[in-house]
Amino acid sequence: MHDRRIAAKRPPRPSLRRRLLTFLLVPVLGVLLLDAVIGYFVALAYSNRVHDTDLSDQALTLSELISNDAMSGELTEQARFLLEYDPDGRDYYAVVSEHHGRMIGNAKLEGPGFPVPLEVTPRFYDTMLGHRALRAAVMRIPNRNEAGDTLTITVAENLRDRHLRAREILFLTLPMQALLIGAVLLLTWFGVSHGLRVLEPLTARLGRREHDLGPIGEEDVPVEILPLTRTIDDLFARMRNMLGLQERFIADAAHQLRTPLAGIQLHVERYAATTDEAQRAQALDHVHRLAARAARTSAQLLALTRTQSPDLPDHDGMAVIDLSQIVPEAVSMRVHQALALNVDLGYEGLDRPVFVRGDALQVQEVIDNLVDNAFHYAGRGHSVTVSVEDAVADIVLAVEDDGPGVPDAFLAQLGERFFRVPGGDEDGTGLGLAIVESIAERHAARVEFTRGEAGGLRVEIRFPALLSLPAA
């Protein structure tokens, strides 16, 4: 019951169909409302034009009546009925003489705020009669009964009938517009639902996959979904890479650890089967050496897998580091081991900063592996030199020893996984130089194996030189 309440409080899952319909239908409804408002004002403008025409005709009719009848101060009953009759409201009129003032009319209408020219075309303006808004037409004509006098004729009406006609027009057109909008909404709903079906073949194809991490492909993928499928393809590629690294690590570990583990088991059985202290000591010594070899092999396998991880930044994403600081520090940390092995360990560098783009920890691992390799194969009483050189286009990190070296026939194979020079010490794992190769590749650097000046092995890591130095 508690789980049901928690599930009920969860927000609804996002829906692409709901989102599309919301973005389409809501604006369409807004357009319907806007269309109704615009339609009302268009209808009102049309109604105003019609009523203005009627007002103009009334003003002209009144001017003709005044011109044909003698102005006695009143209009005939027939003329008054024609001017004042309005089934929906009331019409107002006034005739004002320039010399004699107001002569006839049924309301005191305010004049326009502009001069009225002497012509037969009425002018329109808005005015007020008390609290009632009116629309008026005004014109000036000569007074035929008195020379030099002019008559200002004003005819006005309230706005009630205008708004009533506008609403009638709106109510006549609104159902048709609503029908059209409804049809648009239905077509939008159908279009979105039908358009989303284009994803069904892709969904079905992905649903048939089980353990396939191959690319999705683009043959049935809509253009709008391509960025998503390409991102998924990139994710699949990284997963394939990671799974490949895991499978390779498991296979390598099984292959490399099988011999030392079998040896450990054999010598443990020897230890248990004898009471001779000398044989027991020999067995424990073998167990110790094989356990150390297994531990070193495991550590180097993990280091090699770590250097091949796709989560690490590539060369362009690495920071700028100074080899003139990193390399001496790394060499100084191995001095105590060199003294214990009676190896002359030295460093030769430049007296200025040497910048490359890289990862300081991985460069440290490169130096450690190269120094370990030199210690192991050069042997006691020899010398190992770590140097940093500026070769203009490259920055060279080199480790050279004066040991027996490697025959020229095998130089090209150095750096291969698990490769050991024939006739050498079997305690090596064959992974140290492979780790160096992998780290160098991530740093866009080259690894070169050559014979040193004293006949030993010289390993060079050639980093690309920076085109511009970092700002201080």
Please report whether residue 184 resides in a domain: no
Same domain, 129 and 238: no
Same domain, 253 and 339: no
Please report whether residue 353 resides in a domain: yes
Same domain, 377 and 341: yes
HEC string of the chain equals CHHHHHHHHCCCCCCHHHHHHHHHHHHHHHHHHHHHHHHHHHHHHHHHHHHHHHHHHHHHHHHHHHHHCCCCCCCCHHHHHHHHCCCCCCEEEEEEECCCEEEEECCCCCCCCCCCCEEEEEEEEEEEECCEEEEEEEEEEECCCCCCCEEEEEEEEECHHHHHHHHHHHHHHHHHHHHHHHHHHHHHHHHHHHHHHHHHHHHHHHHCCCCCCCCCCCCCCCHHHHHHHHHHHHHHHHHHHHHHHHHHHHHHHHHHHHHHHHHHHHHHHHHHHCCCHHHHHHHHHHHHHHHHHHHHHHHHHHHHHHHCCCCCCCHHHCEEEEHHHHHHHHHHCCHHHHHHCCCEEEEECCCCCCEEEECHHHHHHHHHHHHHHHHHHHCCCCEEEEEEEECCCEEEEEEEECCCCCCHHHHCCCCCCCCCCCCCCCCCCCCHHHHHHHHHHHCCCEEEEEECCCCCEEEEEEEECCCCCCCC
Q: Which of 132, 167, 202 is the last residue of a domain?
A: 167
Please report whether residue 187 resides in a domain: no
Dump pLDDT digits (tens) for 14-40.
666 777 777 777 787 788 788 888 888
Assign 73 a pLDDT band (cuts: 50, 70, 90). very low
Residue-level pLDDT at 83: 56
Same domain, 394 and 296: no
Tally of domains within the chain:
3
Same domain, 35 and 163: yes
Please report whether residue 408 resides in a domain: yes
Same domain, 333 and 237: no
Residue-level pLDDT at 329: 92
pTM of the model: 0.47
Same domain, 277 and 351: no
Please report whether residue 2 resides in a domain: no
- Domain of 273, CATH number, reads 1.10.287
Dump pLDDT digits (tens) for 271-327.
888 888 888 888 888 788 778 767 766 776 666 666 666 656 666 668 889 999 999
Please report whether residue 252 resides in a domain: yes
Same domain, 298 and 321: no
Share the mean pLDDT of the chain: 79
Q: Which of 261, 286, 307 is the last residue of a domain?
A: 307
Q: Could you tell me which residue, 10 or 350, shows the higher pLDDT? A: 350
Q: Which of 307, 328, 351 is the last residue of a domain?
A: 307
Same domain, 322 and 456: yes
Same domain, 325 and 297: no
The lowest-confidence range among 130-139, 232-241, 256-265 is 256-265
Please report whether residue 134 resides in a domain: yes
Containing structural domain, residue 233: 223-307
Please report whether residue 255 resides in a domain: yes
Residue 89 has pLDDT above 50, yes or no: no
- Domain of 146, CATH number, reads 3.30.450
Dump pLDDT digits (tens) for 198-227.
777 777 777 777 777 777 776 767 777 777
- Domain of 402, CATH number, reads 3.30.565.10
Same domain, 377 and 286: no
**Looking at residues 334-342, what average pLDDT do you find?**
89
**Looking at residues 141-167, what average pLDDT do you find?**
86
Residue-level pLDDT at 388: 92
Assign 466 a pLDDT band (cuts: 50, 70, 90). confident
Same domain, 342 and 363: yes
